[in-house]
Amino acid sequence: MKSLVKKNKLTVIVILFALILSFVFANNALTAFAYSEENYEDAGINFLKSQYEMKGLEYNSLIVADAINLYDNGEDVIAKLLILDRDGELDYVILDFTIDKINGFGINEFDYLQNFYGKGHIYYAGQLNFAYIQDEQYFDLNGDILDKNAFLDEMQVFKLSAPAVESGFDGILSWNNILTRHSSICNSDWLYITGFYWNGLRSNSNGITASYFDQATFNLEYNRLHPGSDMRGTCGPTAMTNMVVYFQWLGFNALVGGTPYNTFIWFANNVDWFNWGNPNVKINLWQNTKNSFVNYAHNRGYSYYMTTYNNPSFNDFKTQVKNGTPIYTYLSANEKSGSSWAHAVVTVGYEQFTHTYQVNKRWWLFGWHDNWVTMQENYYYLRCIDGWPTSNSAHFVDFNNFYASVMAAAFKLA
């Protein structure tokens, strides 16, 4: 009897040991994959292919045009900007390795992508926040001088604020056909305000034909007219002006002084943007921005609709887009930091979908056993006009990313 008990105990120990091994190996099967050229490239291509399929975008040729490294301050590659050539048009997708997610993408983005060339290493602190170094000075892609310490602080803030991937499986590698199977898109829903399409601004009778402006255009004009001045960092009045350009296209007599530049100067003065960053002048840019929209409507003699949000949800953006309203959107990396990175964009649409795929959570017990498990991840993107010298309007930025502060003002003339 004693001998039998010992054998049973030994059997139990062996089985327990095997189960532990199976657990360890099964988890290793999911996590041991390092990023490689095949991993991120395959994932980026599949992601953009899903976009083409959702939008009914047909093509004859699709090739990888380039892959630009995005660096942290330690000179490690923390993200890739993958560029695809689709029948001569350039599309891109940003794959962020620090949070294992696809941060953003763009369709027909030739102009925007030129900003990444001729600058050496591009440093990355999250969506829309890039820098390069020249003569030991930090610059944004627009060529405006950045505070080095502030940028590095923002880079750290983004890392610490990174959200967890919903499914627990790698958000980038979930798009990789080598590691997953039966990948598909479901529950897709997207909408853009009147005149906007998946490929930016169409030059035909059905789409808006007016060009959108970036802050560099306005800054250069201001500095030309005011010798010795150094206007920079004007994304706020630029975004407001781009909304007015849209109202003009809709048929309103919207431009102040008849030109986008005069409109820009009007907003810059009304918001008191010329004192932005002046330590001797205290201003509340957000409150001034909201007041300026009201003052602008009165100036043009129109009624208006406006709803403001201090912490908008994705559904808030959806509601306003369905209402046909462009949304002035303020993004801040760290609202508690006095030198926080912040940027203003115009949201003109949204996109959401569910990515369904299967992962093989293999387990081992006297041999490997396949266990294909269905997983899902939800994706939420805002369609934005950047306001920097990028492209017309084809930016899609991840709403689930790690901004410490998002504020919005949905505004339109009536």
User: Going residue by residue through the chain (414 aa), what tens digit of pLDDT does each one get?
Assistant: 333 344 455 555 544 454 454 444 444 343 434 456 667 888 899 999 988 888 888 899 999 999 999 998 878 888 899 999 999 999 999 988 877 778 888 888 887 888 899 999 999 887 778 899 999 899 888 777 777 887 887 777 666 655 554 444 457 778 877 667 777 888 888 888 988 765 444 433 344 444 556 666 677 777 777 777 666 668 888 889 989 988 998 899 999 999 888 998 999 899 888 776 666 777 788 899 999 999 999 999 999 999 999 889 999 999 999 999 999 998 775 554 444 557 788 898 998 989 888 888 888 888 888 888 888 888 888 888 766 544 445 678 888 665 666 889 999 999
AA identity, residue 48: L
- Contacts (Cβ under 8 Å, ≥6 apart) of 171: 99, 100, 101, 102, 165, 377
AA identity, residue 163: P
Q: What is the Cα gyration radius of the chain?
A: 25
**CATH number (domain holding residue 389):** 3.90.70
Alpha carbons 105 and 397: distance in angstroms, whole number: 7
Residue 330 contacts residue 344 (beta carbons within 8 Å): yes
Residue 289 contacts residue 240 (beta carbons within 8 Å): yes
Among left, alpha and beta (phi > 0; psi -120 to 50; other), residue 52 is: alpha
The residue among 172, 176, 173, 179 whose CA lies nearest residue 361 is: 179
**Predicted local distance difference test score (pLDDT) of residue 37:** 61
Task: Say whether both 142 and 107 belong to one domain.
Answer: yes
Task: Say whether both 201 and 238 belong to one domain.
Answer: yes
Domain membership of residue 233 as a residue range: 188-413
Task: Say whether both 201 and 247 belong to one domain.
Answer: yes
Task: Say whether both 151 and 237 belong to one domain.
Answer: no
Of 145, 180, 215, which closes a domain? 180
Task: Say whether both 349 and 287 belong to one domain.
Answer: yes
Task: Say whether both 20 and 155 belong to one domain.
Answer: no
SS3 331: strand
Q: Which residues pair with 407 in a beta bridge?
A: 330
Task: Say whether both 297 and 377 belong to one domain.
Answer: yes
The residue among 398, 334, 342, 399 whose CA lies nearest residue 157 is: 334
Task: Say whether both 109 and 241 belong to one domain.
Answer: no
SS3 357: strand
- The tally of domains found in the chain comes to 3
Query: Which CA distances in Å does 285 have to 47, 161, 180, 270, 276?
Result: 38, 25, 47, 10, 8
Chain-centre distance for alpha carbon 266:
29
Alpha carbons 19 and 265: distance in angstroms, whole number: 70
Residue 354 contacts residue 186 (beta carbons within 8 Å): yes
SS3 394: coil
Alpha carbons 137 and 284: distance in angstroms, whole number: 29
Of 180, 197, 218, which closes a domain? 180
Phi and psi dihedrals of 294, rounded to 5? -65, -45
Alpha carbons 34 and 180: distance in angstroms, whole number: 15
Task: Say whether both 211 and 273 belong to one domain.
Answer: yes
Query: Which CA distances in Å does 402 have to 27, 88, 343?
Result: 27, 33, 14
Task: Say whether both 18 and 132 belong to one domain.
Answer: no
Task: Say whether both 204 and 133 belong to one domain.
Answer: no
Do the strands 122-124 and 62-71 form a parallel or antiparallel pair, or are they unpaired?
parallel
Of 143, 158, 180, which closes a domain? 180
For the chain, report the end-to-end CA distance as a whole number of angstroms.
92
Task: Say whether both 73 and 41 belong to one domain.
Answer: yes
